[in-house]
Structure 1
Amino acid sequence: MHLKKEVKKMKKVCFIASSGGHFEQIMMLKPIMQKYKSFVVTEKTNYSVTNDNIPFYYLKQVNRHELKFIPYMTINTIKTISIFMKEKPDVVISTGALATIPMCIIAKLFRKKIIFIESFAKINSPTLTGKLIYKFADQFYVQWGEMKEFYPEAICKGGIY
């Protein structure tokens, strides 16, 4: 019975990132994933991912410069609402980009914690997603000290690589 109470208290964490480098960065947090009830949300691509018993959910890959941007973001938002309602995360950790915005907004509307990690590739300028999420993230991390110019309240702990 004591064990059941502990399991109930364990936080559920959503790790969400778009594909490519953002996904690689979120997967660097795998040791954290294994400490909590976790699930991963990313964009569907042609490469395969091993999940080690961590549930994975896939969104459409989006690019703001494509004609399909608005329909794909709409589809992703609907999928994201479904994933959020099914999984009910306590915390959302994101490394960006576009596909992650709906999850962060939905989580904030439900008063869940948002932790955003600005891209390792960004040394001298902020990302569009970072600029948006910075306004309401509970914790915002940058991986380069130079980025504090754009995000003065951010936490800099160095790179996650």
Structure 2
Amino acid sequence: MKVMLVASAGGHLAQLIALDKFWKDHERTWVTFQLPEVEAALKDETVHWAYFPTTRNIPNAVRNFGLAWKVLRKERPDTIITAGAAVSVPFFLVGKMLKMRTVFIEAYDRITMPTMSARMCYPMTDLFVVQWDEQKKAFPESVNIGAIL
């Protein structure tokens, strides 16, 4: 299986890295932001650098949609996995158009107020994962796996 791991830098990326037992034996590519700490953490990985900032930044959302179209058609992952944030949305939209499976992991620190990217991606997610029972109120079809970090 080929996976694409998509995440904003920081805690979102840290959650995906912490799940290495699930992805380490699979062919994979990453999409995240080009920052020194990210380059160090993913130094031996194949990475496509997304445009940032992404929070309410329409020009970068459009650029990332174009990047998603290009990268997903090139890499052809079986599954797209994300822990958010905004960079995940264009990859989920394009991924669903290309009939790829999607997995969204909601942020562990948003217990009662869902993230905007989760609310946007939930309707097009094949597997939606939460880390607290309280998060199931906003995402009733989700699966609680407990805290990752």
Shorter-chain-normalised TM-score: which range? over 0.9
Which residue in the other structure is 2:33 paired with? 43
Residue identity matched to 1:58? W
Is 1:156 aligned to 2:125, yes or no?
A: no
**Structure 2 unaligned runs (5+)?**
none
Q: What residue in structure 2 maps to residue 64 of structure 1?
A: 55
Q: Which structure's CA Rg is the greater one?
A: 1
Amino acid at match of 1:114: T
Equivalent AA in structure 1 for residue 29 of structure 2: F
Structure 2 equivalent of residue 90 of structure 1: 78
Corresponding residue of 1:25:
15
Provide the aligned length of Structure 1 versus Structure 2: 148
SS at match of 1:160: coil
Q: What is the CA RMSD across the aligned residues, in angstroms?
A: 1.4
Q: Does 1:125 find its partner at 2:113?
A: yes
Give the direction of change, closer, same or farther, for the CA distance of 1:38–1:63 in structure 2 (3 Å limit): closer
Post-superposition offset of 1:103: 0.7
Query: Whole-Å Cα distance in 2 between the matches of residues 32 and 148 of structure 1?
Result: 23
CA distance in 1 between partners of 2:82 and 2:5 (Å): 6
Q: Where does structure 1 differ by over 4 angstroms across 4 or more consecutive aligned residues? A: none
Deviation, 1:158, is: 0.1
Deviation at 1:79, TM superposition (A): 1.6
- The one-letter code of the counterpart of 1:40 is W
Q: Distance in 2 between matches of 1:110 and 1:80?
A: 11
The TM-score with structure 1 as length reference comes to 0.86
Instruction: Letter of the 2:6 partner, please give it.
Output: I
Q: TM-score, normalised by structure 2?
A: 0.92
Q: 1:143 aligns with which of 127, 131, 148?
A: 131
**Unpaired segments of 5 or more residues in structure 1?**
1-10
How far did 1:52 drift? Answer: 6.0
2: CA distance, partners of 1:63 / 1:13: 23
- 1:23-51 Cα shifts (integer Å, max 9, x gaps): 11111122222111111111222423343
